[in-house]
Amino acid sequence: MSTHDVIIVGAGPIGLFLACELGMRGTSVLVLERETSPESAFKSAPLGLRGLNTISLESLYRRDMMHLVTKNERPKAFNIKEGFKFGGHFAGMVLNAELLDLKKHKYRLPGPALTPNGTMLDVVEKVLTERAESVGVKILRGKGVSAISQDDSSVTVEAGGETFTGKWLVGCDGGKSTIRKIAGFDFVGTKPECTGYAVVADFDKPGVLKMGFHPSEGGMYIVGFAGNFFLLDFDGGAFDRTQKVTPEHLNDVIARVTGTDVKVTNFKHASSFTDRSMQITQYRRGRVLLAGDAAHIHSPLGAQGLNLGLGDAMNLGWKLAATVKAGEDADLALLDTYEKERLPIGDWVLEWTRAQVATLKPDLYGKAVRNIVRDLIDTRDGNNLFMDRVWGLWMRYDLGDEHPLVGSSVPDFELDDGSRLGPRLKDGRGLLLDFGANEALKGLAGEYSDKVDYLSTSAKEQLGLSAMLVRPDGVVAWAAEENTDLDAAKAAFQRWFGLGSK
């Protein structure tokens, strides 16, 4: 029987990113994965294409991995005209990134991680696997979990005929999560309105269905890379997803959704999905936590799934590591901010995807909503509003502070030496950024020097700020403008870094 601080079930992007966050802090981590091989046609091009929003890119950038996973994979056909740059979509209505107005986002600065980009799942997993193993994470494949049990101090996992124990267990094992079911998490939400299909095949009449997003009278179809397309069929989720998707079934769906007699040829792969939208009601039960699709599922409309899961991992990693390090006397208040902060974000994403499904409904109600949304997106302000949502620029945790920067992502300041702030968070520590060389703040940071770095500098654009405390996940925990409230700073330090401090 092997024992670890944390056992993670699931070696997908979320489990691996969480493992990296834990491992870099000296936590003993074991990852158990049911599949024997990481290779899959559904992870590589073209089916493995995923969008990374600004928040996800910032997380990878701050850990020096963004350049390893972003390959600008988005189909060029999505740039529909001169002066247009694809900035995402809402219900198939594309957004123009060229119209982004940063003046609407006071604390956003241009930088390497601002504009969303595309990647492939196999690329992300390869990069994260190498990083996880470099910080001592152990990954075992072919270890499907069959049972778990927990007491006040540990969790026992039976997987692949072996028994493993850990102080904590995190289920990152996908939408059909075994951990979620065994641990008894409540999973609530809405039933499906439609069935979607991701397909690798050719058409017998390649010129009929055009590249790009096409809401239609029967649902929506998307033609991206050559030989790759998606269908959204409003069948009430009637397709039996335990069955394989056949060319004959796809031809029926194509006729219903597109209104054409186009047929598939050279059929290779296909998978199905629905817009079923569910989320757990609590993110922790005893010593078991959930993250990623194990915690929430929804339609892939708007490319939010991977981003939502990576956000879970970034938020949870440093909090769980701090709790482990504090030992038996750890106060769980810090760990429980994971649920407090991430559950509302999950709620929002589910609502956002439901809104897109409602907009695409093939009836007069859906048509009426589409017309209004299209008119809104065609305005500069409307286009910016939707990009704000799709890119994640809106995201802010409620940390109980009225300052608009607190709870938000720290700006990627260009510092006086020409470097940028983002890479300063590479080691996963907190950071006190002091633009005013305040000796009292420097002394306060010194009290927490085992967890927080101190940086006194100036920046090209300081946005009217004099100092700020940044959590390890890049979220601002405290900010000051002209007058520094030292008592508020002390309270922020204690709240986020006081666990286990001397």
Residue 285: how many CB atoms within 10 A of its CB? 15
Whether residues 52 and 89 fall in one domain: yes
Give the pairing type, strands 162-171 and 288-290.
parallel
Q: pLDDT per residue over 342-390, tens digit each?
A: 999 999 999 999 999 999 999 999 999 999 999 999 999 999 999 999 9
Whether residues 293 and 245 fall in one domain: no
Q: At residue 441, does pLDDT exceed 50?
A: yes
Residues with Cβ within 8 Å of 490's Cβ and at least 6 positions away in sequence, in order, are 444
Q: What is the distance, to the nearest Å, from the Cα of residue 264 to the centroid of all Cα atoms in its chain?
A: 33
Give the DSSP per-residue string, 21-82: HHHTTT--EEEEESSS-S--TTTSTTTTEEEE-HHHHHHHHHTT-HHHH----S-GGG--ST
Of the three residues 274, 305, 323, the one that is the final residue of a domain is 274
**Collapsing DSSP states into helix, strand and coil, what is residue 363?**
coil
| Cis peptide leading into residue 206 (ω within 30°) | no
Whether residues 141 and 58 fall in one domain: yes
Output DSSP code: residue 409: B
Whether residues 109 and 178 fall in one domain: yes
Whether residues 199 and 339 fall in one domain: no
The CATH number assigned to the domain holding 47 equals 3.50.50.60
Share of the chain above pLDDT 90, in %: 85
Domain count, the chain: 3
Q: What is the pTM of this model?
A: 0.96
| Cis peptide leading into residue 13 (ω within 30°) | no
Classify 212 in phi/psi space as left (phi over 0), alpha (psi -120 to 50) or beta: left
Token duo for residue 93: 């209505």
Please report whether residue 318 resides in a domain.
yes
Contact (Cβ atoms closer than 8 angstroms) between residue 92 and residue 196? no
Contact (Cβ atoms closer than 8 angstroms) between residue 344 and residue 308? no
Output DSSP code: residue 133: H
Mean pLDDT, residues 457-474 taken together: 97
Q: Rounded CA gap, 392 and 349, in Å?
A: 10
Of the three residues 241, 274, 307, the one that is the final residue of a domain is 274
Q: What is the pLDDT of residue 78?
A: 65
Backbone φ and ψ of 350, nearest 5°: -60, -40
Mean pLDDT, residues 27-52 taken together: 92
Of the three residues 250, 274, 298, the one that is the final residue of a domain is 274
Q: Rounded CA gap, 88 and 72, in Å?
A: 13
Whether residues 54 and 7 fall in one domain: yes
Give me the amino acid identity at 6.
Answer: V
The three-point CA angle 150-153-156 to 5° equals: 35
Q: What is the pLDDT of residue 116?
A: 92
Q: Rounded CA gap, 121 and 346, in Å?
A: 21
Whether residues 258 and 297 fall in one domain: no
Contact (Cβ atoms closer than 8 angstroms) between residue 437 and residue 455? no
**Which of these, 398, 427, 410, 422, lies nearest to 465 by C-alpha position?**
410
Q: At residue 111, does pLDDT exceed 70?
A: yes
Whether residues 166 and 231 fall in one domain: no
* Residue 414 CB burial class (10 angstroms; 0-12, 13-18, ≥19): middle
Token duo for residue 129: 């696997």
**Collapsing DSSP states into helix, strand and coil, what is residue 297?**
strand
Q: pLDDT per residue over 240-295, tens digit each?
A: 888 999 999 999 999 999 999 999 999 999 999 999 999 999 999 999 999 999 99
Stretch among 118-122, 165-169, 242-246, 302-306 having the lowest mean pLDDT: 302-306
Whether residues 182 and 110 fall in one domain: yes
**Collapsing DSSP states into helix, strand and coil, what is residue 327?**
helix
Give the residues across from 385 on adjacent strands: none
Token duo for residue 422: 């983002």
Residues with Cβ within 8 Å of 350's Cβ and at least 6 positions away in sequence, in order, are 189, 277, 278, 279, 296, 298
State the DSSP H helix or E strand holding residue 411, giving kind and residue range, or none if neither: none
Q: At residue 502, does pLDDT exceed 60?
A: no
Give me the amino acid identity at 130.
Answer: E
**Collapsing DSSP states into helix, strand and coil, what is residue 455?**
strand
The CATH number assigned to the domain holding 208 equals 3.30.70.2450
Q: What is the pLDDT of residue 42?
A: 86
Q: Rounded CA gap, 347 and 280, in Å?
A: 10
Q: At residue 501, does pLDDT exceed 70?
A: no
Please report whether residue 502 resides in a domain.
no
Whether residues 256 and 291 fall in one domain: no
Q: Rounded CA gap, 357 and 191, in Å?
A: 12
Give me the amino acid identity at 414.
Answer: E
pLDDT confidence of 1, banded at 50, 70, 90? low
**Collapsing DSSP states into helix, strand and coil, what is residue 172?**
coil
Please report whether residue 481 resides in a domain.
yes
Which residue range(s) make up the domain with 468?
422-497
The CATH number assigned to the domain holding 460 equals 3.40.30.120
Whether residues 142 and 286 fall in one domain: yes
Residue 374: how many CB atoms within 10 A of its CB? 16
Q: What is the pLDDT of residue 344?
A: 97
Please report whether residue 316 resides in a domain.
yes
Residues with Cβ within 8 Å of 176's Cβ and at least 6 positions away in sequence, in order, are none
Contact (Cβ atoms closer than 8 angstroms) between residue 54 and residue 61? no
The three-point CA angle 179-53-313 to 5° equals: 30
Contact (Cβ atoms closer than 8 angstroms) between residue 32 and residue 164? yes
Q: Rounded CA gap, 315 and 339, in Å?
A: 10
Please report whether residue 404 resides in a domain.
no
Higher pLDDT, 97 or 302: 97
Please report whether residue 28 resides in a domain.
yes
Whether residues 97 and 182 fall in one domain: yes
Please report whether residue 417 resides in a domain.
no
Q: Rounded CA gap, 257 and 239, in Å?
A: 14
Please report whether residue 414 resides in a domain.
no
